[in-house]
Amino acid sequence: MRVLAIICVKDEAAVLTEWLAHHRAIGVTDVLAFSNDCSDGTDAMLDRFEALGLLTHLRGRAGQRGPQWRALREAAEHPLMAVADWVICIDVDEFINLRAGNLSDLVGAVPQADCFALTWRMFGSSGLRHYEDLPVAQRFTHCAPDPLNWPWRCAMIKTLWRRGAYQRPGVHRPIDAQGPAVWVDGNGAILPPRFQDRGVYTNYLKPSYGLVQLNHYALGDAESFVVKAARGRANREGSPADAGYWAERNLNQVEDASLQIDMAELMADADIARLHQQGVAWRHARVDTLLREDCWRDLYTRIVMAGESRAWTAEEAHALIARARN
């Protein structure tokens, strides 16, 4: 089974090796990686991974709706799309977390499915302020409860979809259905018919992660979040990474250290190890530069002072939803 992952990256050399090691281990066979205006050596790292036969690297260009949308248009016509059995568009702060087995086992568990809606499990900052060169899955082990009663934006999905069911990849879900498609959630349960044409989040008021969850390390530590905010979003339609973004996602109520990622094989390559360290040094230097500026120092102090966000109860969420409907 060939599984194609499409990623768009900018200044991610410090974390890219961990992401690639994990997804190769669970059954991603092909990676189509678009880099965009990198300053930390991410593009050189992707070139090295390509030379090792581990992915395909294309240098992206900005489009009217942002570099991610342009990359997805190019991906739709790429030869790797034509040979893929399954496709997912994913970010490097998102890690597919299977409860058992690999992606072939997931597909085999629900053979009628054409689309798996992988619901985010939002991982907060774990109270960390400073950037360190340690694996993401090792540092951030506290996440949102299941179910997450609010906000709905934190229960959005990325979709693992059967090529042929839809014509083109989209940011959260594929585009242009080629016929009836069966959608299932992270429990393997059939989703409502509306998902055929629309739907970017599952029912956040019910448990969602029986077979698979999508670990979303959207924040990192406070310093890394400032770097992310200054970089901007690949999808211009996305909300800015600001103090409000942090407050919605800094959820740490549940401990989950289920991901164990072995990077040793990839880091054994001297060029990859060197480029990783270059990316780490760049990130430390970038933090120092940004925190000399008033606006970024203000963002840093606001999110540190805000502390951990409180998870809503089901009663609070239902009351708010009822008011909106009325």
Encode pLDDT of 110-163 as tens digits.
999 999 999 999 999 999 999 999 999 999 999 999 988 888 888 899 999 999
Residue 12 covered by a domain: no
**How many domains does the structure of the chain reveal?**
1
CA-CA distance, 116 to 98, in Å (whole number)?
12
Continuous segment of H or E residues that includes residue 48: helix 42-51
Q: Does residue 169 have a cis peptide bond before it, meaning omega lies within 30 degrees of 0? A: no
The answer to whether residues 172 and 158 touch, using CB atoms and an 8 Å cutoff, is yes
Q: Which residues contact 188 (CB under 8 A, 6 or more apart)?
A: 109, 110, 113, 210, 211
User: What is the reported pLDDT for 65?
Assistant: 57
Per-residue tokens: 60? 């992206």
User: What is the reported pLDDT for 29?
Assistant: 98
Residue 243 covered by a domain: yes
- Give the percent of the chain with pLDDT over 90: 81
Residue 69 covered by a domain: no
Q: Residue length, the chain? A: 326
User: What is the reported pLDDT for 139?
Assistant: 98
Give how far Cα 186 sits from Cα of 11, 58, 116, 198, 283, Å.
30, 31, 7, 17, 34
The DSSP symbol for 318 reads: H
Alpha helices in 54-184 (DSSP H): 67-76, 79-83, 103-109, 136-139
User: What is the reported pLDDT for 233?
Assistant: 62
Average pLDDT of the residues in 255-261: 96
Residue 237 covered by a domain: yes
Whether the predicted pLDDT of 216 surpasses 70: yes
Per-residue tokens: 21? 């090691």
Q: What is the pLDDT of residues 165-177, one digit of tens each?
A: 999 999 999 999 9
Whether the predicted pLDDT of 235 surpasses 60: no
Q: What is the pLDDT of residues 304-317, one digit of tens each?
A: 999 999 989 889 98
Whether the predicted pLDDT of 326 surpasses 80: no
Query: One-letter amino acid identity for 297?
Result: R
User: What is the reported pLDDT for 308?
Assistant: 93
163 forms bridges with which residues in the sheet? 166
Whether the predicted pLDDT of 237 surpasses 90: no
Q: What is the pLDDT of residues 39-97, one digit of tens each?
A: 999 999 999 999 999 999 999 665 555 678 889 999 999 999 999 999 999 999 999 99
- Any idea what the Cα angle at residue 67 is, between residues 243 and 212, rounded to 5°? 65
Residue 53 covered by a domain: no
The answer to whether residues 272 and 49 touch, using CB atoms and an 8 Å cutoff, is yes
Query: One-letter amino acid identity for 169?
Result: P
Q: Which residues contact 280 (CB under 8 A, 6 or more apart)?
A: 13, 14, 133
Whether the predicted pLDDT of 234 surpasses 80: no
Burial (0-12, 13-18, 19+ Cβ within 10 Å), 255: exposed
Q: What is the mean pLDDT of the chain?
A: 93
**How would residue 200 be classed by pLDDT, with cut points 50, 70 and 90?**
very high
Residue 304 covered by a domain: yes
CA-CA distance, 2 to 165, in Å (whole number)?
15
CA-CA distance, 97 to 211, in Å (whole number)?
9
Domain extent, residue 165, equals 91-325
Whether the predicted pLDDT of 238 surpasses 90: no
Total-model pTM: 0.95
The answer to whether residues 195 and 117 touch, using CB atoms and an 8 Å cutoff, is yes
Average pLDDT of the residues in 257-285: 97
The gap from C-alpha 67 to its chain's centroid, in whole angstroms, comes to 16
- Give the percent of the chain with pLDDT over 70: 96
Residue 38 covered by a domain: no
Residue 167 covered by a domain: yes
